[in-house]
Amino acid sequence: MNRKRALISDTFKVNKRRVGNEKQFGAVSNGEAGPLDVKATLQDLMTLFPRKLFNDALPQIVLKHQLYSIHNDRTQVDRQLSDLREQGELLMFQLGFDAEAFGLVFAADYKAKVLAGEEGRGTRGTVDKFLEKVLPSCNDLSFNKDKMLKEFLFTDSEITQLVKSGVLTVRDAGSWWLSIPNSGRFTKYLIQGRKAVLGMVKKSKYNEVLKAELEERQTNSQVKFQIKYHIHDIIGAELVECIPTTSGTLLRCVDY
Amino acid sequence: MLGFLTARQAGLDDPLRLRRAESTRRVLNLELNHDRDVDRIHSNGVNTIDIEVIEGRYMLSGGADGVIVVYDLENNSGKPQYTCKAVCTVGRSSRYVHRFSVETVQWYPHDTGMFVSSSFDKTMKVWDTETLKPAEVFQFEGNVYCHHMSPIARKHSLIAVGTKDQKVQLCDLKSGSRIQVLQGHRGEVLSVRWSPRYEHILATASTDSRVLVWDVRRASGSLFSLDQHNGDKSKASSEAVNTAHNGRVNGLCFTVDGLYLLTTGTDDRMRLWNSANGKNTLVNYGKVSNESRKGLKITVSHSCSPEFVFVPCGSSVAVYTLHTGELVTMLRGHYNNVDCCQFHPDYQELYSGGKDCNILAWVPIVRPPDVEEEGTAAKGGSQATVNPAFEDAWSSDED
């Protein structure tokens, strides 16, 4: 008798396919019901973002790889994300600390927070113009000087004002990343918290922790966000391995 | 399964469908089988394996000790337990053996009378299989990382060679000279591959993070360079513009139909490209761990649906679905890093070699035969060792 669960190709499954059973191979399903809906998942993850910590000045940010920890099919997630960006509902930002870490913010949220932050400042007019003209038409993560001057007809001083207000960050001479104003503290807390949570997994016996147990643990002062936010982050960035066990998912440190 | 067979018989299904379904089922069932073994000859890691395309019977392997071995993969013994024996070896005692590690070996694509090996002793040797003597030796200025001969070429017999030098050399088998040099890379060339669809198209990968695609008939440079962001200059930092990976590119593999190209890089990513226009298909495989400083040999399955790609990942071989990027399974069995793997298209078997000096054969699980109660047990002890396929099932007992 072959005790091992065999991988079965789709063509050999005679039974009626259950609705929403996305995984093609293997008998293990991941407990997610319904077809892949990235927007709903994004909204769920956004609730994990701590708004009070930043005094409501920052829009809710989710990292792109946090979605990978929930949905299995990364290619589908990527495709749906690019569709949402094409429609103008979602904005993606290069966060700067990792070449692959992208932050996602709903466009409406972003606009509201940026304008609220600009109340009473001299740069308000330029930022307004930027948000109205550039964001709806251009999906890029960065802009270079030619584009800003010729396509969008911004002057040099206006570009300086945009950098001062935090909407653009310097990438190198003559090109800028699109960015979220006042997001420096967010990045700092994220990296701090990520290191602390990873440390918690590493310090455990055998370098592994059950996911459910980690969620219950008390966090120290280094971890400013909700621990679930960090757990999605480290799973999605593949800093820990996810192993299915009979008592739930086990997170094991990947030591390289 | 029986449904497929009857549909094939009745003509309801295309014959190819049964073949694809069965090949896929076999690839999904790959595992280490204690009945199948490969002779252990190498005393240092195995760097490269190649199975000949004509019969699929002989396998070449090149090791870090400079030794080259030819194995016979066919099982003629009639018993299920079989060790693939080494037919002949170019060992340390041979006068012509490579002085340092052999990096790539490849059979001559049209018959097994010849094979080519290239090594870190800066030479590439063309061997005669009968006498095991080199018929031709090409000298280079730097370590040779890889070479490849086009499997479909009729109009030319060029070997593309990637060395420590930035130039890709093309050597001609017929004349024995180095006739062409392809300039364009800015770093060592770690991997070269001819397209299995067009005999003049060549892809090369290098430590400068770029993959260039060439048409060797063209005198001016490459056709195009693969860009991971598909021309979207905003996504990358300014130094990473127009690169295939964010690190060294060390693995290249075309799919069997030649329409797609897979590349792996030390940024722990694997990318699938459309080989006609060089666009990144943006299939996300996740983290494909890659720490190799030299070339990595990846391979794809043949005539399965969906196609699978086998990548050596640390000490196991990872199997991914080609077009969706899903990790199907990890084949664990080696004791140390795996360096190379090769898929046998006719039997859907995978052979992988690594630093632990072993070549492991991953064989599809055989369906156990149904247990029959009457008569067969009484036929005698000698029957038990015979493969059921060779059992005499038609003679009558009454005569």
pLDDT tens digit sequence for B334-350: 999 999 999 998 888 99
Answer whether B283 sits within 8 Å of A75, measured CB to CB: yes
Instruction: State the pairing for strand pair B123-128/B102-107.
Output: unpaired
Helix, strand and coil percent figures for chain B, each rounded to 5: 10, 40, 50
pLDDT in tens, B292-336: 888 888 999 988 888 999 999 888 999 999 998 888 889 999 999
Gap from A230 CA to chain B (nearest CA, Å): 19
User: What is the tens place of the pLDDT at every residue in A91-129?
Assistant: 888 887 877 788 898 888 888 888 888 887 777 888 888
Predicted TM-score (pTM) of this structure: 0.83
Inform me whether the pLDDT recorded for B373 exceeds 50: yes
Packing angle, helices A74-87 and A38-46, rounded to 10: 80
- Is B234 in contact with A75 (Cβ distance < 8 A)? no
For B210-246, the pLDDT digits (tens) are: 999 999 998 778 888 888 887 776 666 666 677 888 8
Best mutation site among B284, B309, B313 for testing chain A: the one with the most A CBs within 10 Å?
Answer: B284
Contact status of A9 with chain B (Cβ, < 8 Å): yes
Give B279: exposed, middle or buried? Use CB within 10 Å, 0-12, 13-18, 19+.
middle
Q: Is B18 exposed, middle or buried (0-12, 13-18, 19+ CB in 10 A)?
A: middle
**Nearest neighbour of A99 by CB, restricted to B246, B324, B326:** B246
Distance between CA B73 and CA A193 in Å, rounded? 54
Backbone angles phi, psi at B14, to 5 degrees: -65, 140
Q: According to the model, what pLDDT value does residue B238 have?
A: 60
Beta-strand pair B359-364/B30-32: antiparallel
For chain B, say whether A188 makes contact (Cβ under 8 Å).
Answer: no
Higher model confidence: residue B269 or residue B293? B269
| A-B Cβ pairs (cutoff 8 Å, strict) | 74
pLDDT in tens, A6-55: 677 766 665 554 544 444 444 333 444 345 688 888 888 888 888 888 88
Q: What is the mean pLDDT of chain B?
A: 87
Is residue B3's pLDDT more than 80?
yes
Omega within 30 of 0 (cis) for the link into B80: no
For residue B189, the model assigns a pLDDT of: 93
Q: Cβ distance B67 to B91 under 8 Å?
A: yes
The Cα of A193 is separated from the nearest Cα of chain B by a number of Å equal to 22
Residues of chain A with Cβ-Cβ distance to B287 below 8 Å are 238
Residues of B in contact with A11 (CB under 8 A): 21, 24, 305
SS3 content of chain A, % helix, strand, coil (to 5): 45, 15, 40
Write out chain A residues lying below 8 Å of B31, CB-based: 4
Report the chain B residue with the minimal C-alpha distance to residue A1. B368
From the list B28, B246, B326, the residue facing A9 with the nearest CB is: B28
Q: Which segments of chain B does DSSP mark as H helices, in order?
A: 2-10, 15-28
User: Any idea what DSSP says for residue B93?
Assistant: T
On chain B, the residues whose CB falls within 8 A of the CB of A9 are 21, 24-25, 28
What three-state secondary structure class fits B124? strand
For chain A, positions 46-105, list CB contacts with chain B under 8 A.
68, 72-79, 94, 99
Measure the CA–CA gap between B82 and B78, rounded to whole angstroms.
9
- Give, as one character, the DSSP assignment of residue A53: G
CB contact under 8 Å between B365 and A171, yes or no, is no
Look up tokens 């800093």; give the residue. A239
- DSSP 8-state secondary structure symbol assigned to residue B222: -
Could you list the beta-strand ranges (E) of chain A.
Answer: 62-63, 90-94, 102-106, 142-144, 168-172, 175-178, 208-210, 240-245, 248-253
CB of B240 less than 8 A from some CB of A: yes
- Measured between beta carbons, which residues in chain B are less than 8 angstroms from residue A256? 289, 291
Contact B284 A171 (CB under 8 A): no
Angle at A136 between CA A134 and CA A141, to 5 degrees: 65
Q: Which residue has the tokens 């494909």?
A: B288
Contact B109, B84 (CB under 8 A): no
Decide if B1 and A7 are in contact by the 8 Å CB cutoff.
no
* C-alpha to C-alpha distances, B347 to B80, B300, B353, nearest whole angstrom: 15, 14, 18
Average pLDDT, chain A: 80
Instruction: Give the whole-angstrom CA distance, residue B158 versus residue B148.
Output: 9
Distance from CA of A73 to the nearest CA of B (A): 7
Helices B15-28, B2-10: axis angle to 10 degrees equals 160
Half-sphere exposure of A26 (CA within 13 A, CB side): 12
Subunit contact B328:A7, Cβ cutoff 8 A: yes
Q: How confident is the model over A198-209, as a mean pLDDT?
A: 89
Contact A21, A10 (CB under 8 A): no
Cα–Cα distance between A208 and A201 in angstroms, integer?
Answer: 6
Please report which confidence band the pLDDT of residue B380 belongs to, taking 50, 70 and 90 as the band edges: very low
pLDDT of residue B379: 45
Residues in chain B: 399
Q: Quick check: B330 and B316 in contact, CB under 8 A?
A: yes
For residue B254, give how far its alpha carbon lies from the nearest alpha carbon of chain A (Å).
20
- Give, to the nearest 10 degrees, the angle between helix A124-137 and helix A156-165: 90
- The tens digit of pLDDT for each residue in B107-161 reads 999 988 999 999 999 999 999 999 999 999 999 999 999 999 999 988 999 999 9
The residues facing B364 across adjacent strands are B30
Interface of B with A in 51-80 (CB under 8 A): none
Q: Which of B209, B230, B237 to mutate to test the interface with A (most CBs of A within 10 A)?
A: B237
Distant-in-sequence, close-in-space partners of B220: CB < 8 Å, separation ≥ 6: none
Residue by residue, DSSP assigns B340-394 as EEEEETTTTEEEEEETTS-EEEEEEPPPPPPP--SSGGGG-GGGGGS-GGGS--S
For chain B, what is the total number of helices (H) and then of strands (E)?
Answer: 2, 29
B40-96 pLDDT, tens digit per residue, is 999 989 999 999 988 889 999 999 999 999 999 988 888 888 889 999 999 899 999
**Secondary structure of A144-177 in the HEC alphabet?**
EHHHHHHHCCCCHHHHHHHHHHCCEEEEECCEEE
- Dist. CA A150–CA A156, nearest whole Å: 11
Burial class (CB in 10 A: 0-12, 13-18, 19+), A137: exposed
